[in-house]
Structure 1
Amino acid sequence: MNQHSLSAAFVAGLVVTTLCSIPDGALAAAKSASKSALAVACESQYQRTRPAPKVVDKVLQAHARWLEDRESADGRRANLCRTDLRQLRLTTASLERANLEGAILKGANLRSANLVQAHLKGADLSQAILDDANLEGADLRKGLLAKAHLNRISADEAAFYGANLQGAFFREALLERAHFEDADLQLADLSGASLLDGYFYGANLSKANLTDADLAGTDLRRTNLRQATLRRANLQGALLDSATLDGTSLVEADLESAYLDDASLVQADLHEASLRGA
């Protein structure tokens, strides 16, 4: 073996020895920390500040130009991650694809705003007004929306994974194919909402109002629907396997071809409900 080969072998052995000397836990932690750092990165110049309304208006104007022409010299995507925007009036604002991750929008007025595919992961929208807003494809994972007003919103395919939606209002909302896995919807009002083919696996819907809601084909497996109101709800073909429906009102509900394997229906009210093929 020549000198070059010996040197290469020595270096390779040194690298392996060094890596092996690092505890597995430390390596895993380093990888996890690296991923976390990437996940929570926020480069907004306004993070952890409360910019004046005029400043926010300028950001939105530049965002509007960016939406019209991505090559515009004076256009820029709105980056308001982790920014304090509480109580701000943003009615009819154009925030499509805006970065609002971790933003504080508590009590903000976003009525009729355009939030299509907006990034709102981890944002605080508690008590915010979003009636008639467009949230199609928006990312609201782990968001705080307790007592938020989302009546008549369009939010098809929006992501509410693990979000806190306690006491939120979704009356007559369009939420087809939306994701609510592991979300907390206790006492939420979803009366008249369209939830076709939605995903609620493991969600908490106890005492929620789903009167006249359309849940056909919806995945409600392992959901908590204790004392919820599903009066006249359409549950045709819905997946309710292992769901808890104790004390739930299913009066006049349509459960045709619904799946109820291992579901608990203790003291549930099924008066005049349709169970054909269930």
Structure 2
Amino acid sequence: MNHKHQACLLPEDPSQWRAPEDCKPVSSQHLPIDARGANWVNRILQPLDLRNANLCRTDIRGTDLTACQLEGCNLTLARYDKKTRVPVGFNLEKSGAVGPGAALNGAFLNGADLRGMDLRNTNFMGAYLSGCDLSGAILDGARFVGADLRFAKMQGCRCVGTRFNGSQLQQADFRAADLTEAILEGSESIQGADFSQATGMDKIQLANLLTRSHIELDCWNPLTRQATRATLESLLESTMQPG
């Protein structure tokens, strides 16, 4: 073991060590600050030196950081929302953080818990989201072009105008999702995807999806115990019912 490296990670007195997720947004004599996974939701932060800080996975939804120094900080997978405030000139959308309008092209989000997140107009082009939980998320205008959404959980999410061109949707769970004006026809595969009780899909779109190969349509989803064809046909039948 590299003892010199270990000494850099721990204080001289090990009893003073605190888990990063328990870090409070207060001034610290130990710089740069390590607050990985900390919950700073809805706080108004006093002037704080966060230069080169590790804020990976920190929750800053509703947080006001306008008085802080953020140069060089690591915000990879930190969570923000439309109420988050940062200093003028700091580009939160391109920082690696996750929130509305974020540029997450090619990001590795496999298995991430993004339930209920506001991700409107977020760019997930080429992102890896296999097994990601997006249940209840707001994904209006989001772009999943070429993204990997295999086994993604998208129950009850809102996907108004969302683009899935070239995306992999094998075994994705779209139950009760709002797919109004969503572009699904250009997806690479819907093999085993479940669309039960989804809303917003019209007759033409459903009919087009039902022309896909039997390999995609007759695949059984082991989680929902439905084949893709059956879920699409049930939606098509409901669009043909009067009233």
Percent identity among equivalent residues?
A: 21
Deviation at 1:232, TM superposition (A): 3.5
Q: What is the rounded CA distance, in whole Å, between the counterparts of 1:121 and 1:152 in structure 2?
A: 19
CA displacement at 1:94 relative to structure 2: 3.6
Unaligned runs of 5+ in 1: 1-41, 47-54, 64-75, 268-278
Q: Tell me whether 1:217 sits opposite 2:171 in the alignment.
A: yes
Q: Which residue of 2 aligns with 1:150?
A: 104
Determine if contact 2:37/2:56 at 8 Å carries over to the other structure: no
Alignment map for 1:179-198 (pairs within 5 Å):
179-198=133-152
* Cα offset, 1:167, TM superposition: 1.4
Q: Distance in 1 between matches of 2:212 and 2:191?
A: 9
Runs (5+) with no aligned partner, structure 2: 1-21, 86-90, 220-226
Q: Does 1:115 align with 2:63?
A: no
Cα separation, partners in 2 of 1:128 and 1:96, compared to 1, 3 Å: closer
The match for 2:55 is: 95
> Contact between 2:36 and 2:54, CA under 8 Å: does it hold in 1?
no
TM-score by length of 2: 0.59
**Structure 2 residue 32 is the aligned partner of structure 1 residue 61:** yes
> Closer, same or farther in 2 for the Cα pair 1:263/1:158, shift >3 Å?
same
1:129 to 93, 108, 125: 93
Shift in alpha-carbon separation, 1:122–1:128, aligned structure 2, 3 A? closer
Conservation of the 8 A alpha-carbon contact between 1:100 and 1:123 = no
Count of aligned pairs between the two proteins: 188
TM-score between the two structures when normalised by the length of structure 1: 0.53
What is the Cα deviation at residue 201 of structure 1?
Answer: 0.4
How many Å separate the matches in 2 of 1:172 and 1:111?
Answer: 25
Q: 1:110 to 1:214 in 2, by over 3 A?
A: farther
Distance 2:127 2:155 in 1: 19
Pair 1:248–1:95, CA change in 2 (3 A) = farther
Is residue 140–residue 162 contact of structure 2 (8 Å, CA) maintained in 1? Answer: yes
User: Does structure 1 retain, via aligned residues, the 8 Å contact 2:115–2:137?
Assistant: yes
Residue 263 in structure 1 maps to residue 235 in structure 2: yes
| Displacement after TM superposition at 1:103 (Å) | 3.0
